[in-house]
Structure 1
């Protein structure tokens, strides 16, 4: 009768823990609670849950383990003895030569996929059948905990990716609308602008001997040409953001220059100097969607400008080794605190909420770069500026493309 009562108590304890594991999402707490209960139920000197990465066995619970248990499990794994645990699909008792302690190792699996091992150290060589059955039950609870948290993490990541994709889709629609508006404005402004330019040049020819007048007309001409360059940039922007653009070879120096021209007024107003350089005078080419690659540089320039409220410098360096095209965008701004470096590409992470920041700019950049089979990284120190490094598969330099 006593044994029956004890079995009921054990069953209730496991059931309570199973309910907590089934509804809980905090992995460390669930697994530590599991090892606490396991030490109560199994006469052992130590126990722990391990995951394997290559030849390494990693302890993932902080309660009830011991250095000797960690060493023994690592030795068993290195020697290949842990393989028989998954082959048997039941607890296996192992021991080391010359040692009194024996170890019961139970597989932790989900849908026939090995997740880890639940290990017990005991100062005896024999385990009863009920003990081994109980260890198997406890290992199944560990599998449920690991699987639940894995599923939650997958769901969490999928949810954030979906939100980012939805936001990017909305942003693309807005960009297409802005592109159509820009095209209309550009065409309307460009016609009278060309008339003004032709009249100014005509006046310069007629009054070329009047130095003071020519000087004023020259100033008008240079500014009209500047407006004309902005108009061309707007037309390019409109064409690239029509929402129907196909992928093609992109002249990166031209795209970056045109994007910088769009920002020229803001940069000059903010006392920010922008320089663009290329290695060997060659213009690297990448294959992709022009509007999306343009958006990468536009977002980075806007970020850099906002990081330098008192003015500064932005250097854009483009290079290619024939296989990879690299763009380095460096600013002399306020920099990024070390604790934020790992989060800058997270959707909705921003330190500029009070200024209307949404935390989407860099996450969109990351998404676009990834879509183009590229990589983006960031280096920064507070007060020392920030450098973003973009790497894309090369389409070949402009010289190479002209030869072919």
Structure 2
């Protein structure tokens, strides 16, 4: 579940009308105060003050979303008043009403950042400015909330990483969830829907483990969406975690009231719980393997390195995904606000064009020219689009990291082998992008049946080998095509090639032609084993001095009928 952010100005207007934003109006002229109360009182709750000192007292005692002040008042002037209010609460909307003839006041206001300026007579301009100020306040609050969420997420992840066993991981997750305002209890279940076994129960007060946590040696993350069901006044939300030899693990939570923010936290916690347990299982696999006397020393070292890389990749992916997700959300909100600003400016120009006061239109044109507003808006739109493109690339790279960090599921499904190739290529080119040139030729091919994560690992291994054979500089040729009911992927390089007497040995376990410390000889042996388990094979052709071509062949999935 994700928070749905609407960019529609009408939606935000209804929000302010229904929630009755509070506005403090300050002016020493009672007629002006009454006029502003009448004009704004339909949509907002308006309170008035005729002195700056009175306004500050009210601001200390009560909550306000926006303050509107005249410039010239006895005692403290409007600029000083709004400046002090901004120091007390930087998110409050601040609007200064000036007269066109009051040049000194206008210059003082222009020098103060964060204050909107409206000239008398204001007509529709004041209403538009109030809405902009309130929307800016809402956006600032969203940014602050995002930072709070980011910090809370880091605390949870840090605690899970420091946990020494699965029980501590589950305890951290359950305490986090039951700390949400609307959550009454949470539980961890194992088994089918009809008669699951409850392993743990948590309330806002404590966490109880009703039995041991029977983790299997391998787990397969489910990745399905959460399910929501209502039972009387209580909402039950359930997230599938993973499946192992014992059955399906689930996280269930009971809410008094559904709040989107807390639903997001629930799913965030479920994802982190899966990742933390995966890390634990991966480390335990290495520990068990270390205790087996028949494991060869070189193979054990490689497995430990792979485990460490997997842990690192998973951690890096999460550290990237969280802030990138917030940036993507905020860019969407920013794009909506930019559209609203452009619409407001167009409306203002139409109002001025139809006004009998030609001087106002000329002054507005001069302001636009002075600040180059049209060009600034165009630049903002381009900057926003470039930011969105960049953050989407970051999120894609993070997703690829998580894919390669995870153990492949034993479940098989149909997939396009080109998707695996492109995902693997992204990871390889990130390291070798400066010296490798790509040549690609892809034909439409049928789906294949198998594990896309494992096939992707094979393709990545072959591309890394090709890049290393060329010492990071050369031409990498990739092709996908169909031939005799085989889906084929060929990976060619312009390296030195493989001597003929070694071609028959390169798939032997622990055989390598690399220098000591650079290879273990497990890569091609494991790759061939994976592809053969998929019903396929790997072929290689090479001539000394002309590079090598590895071809992965997988059975095409033929449609019945």
TM-score, normalised with respect to structure 2? 0.37
Larger helix fraction of residues: 1
Greater RCO, 1 or 2 (C-alpha within 8 Å, sep 6+): 1
TM-score, normalised with respect to structure 1? 0.49
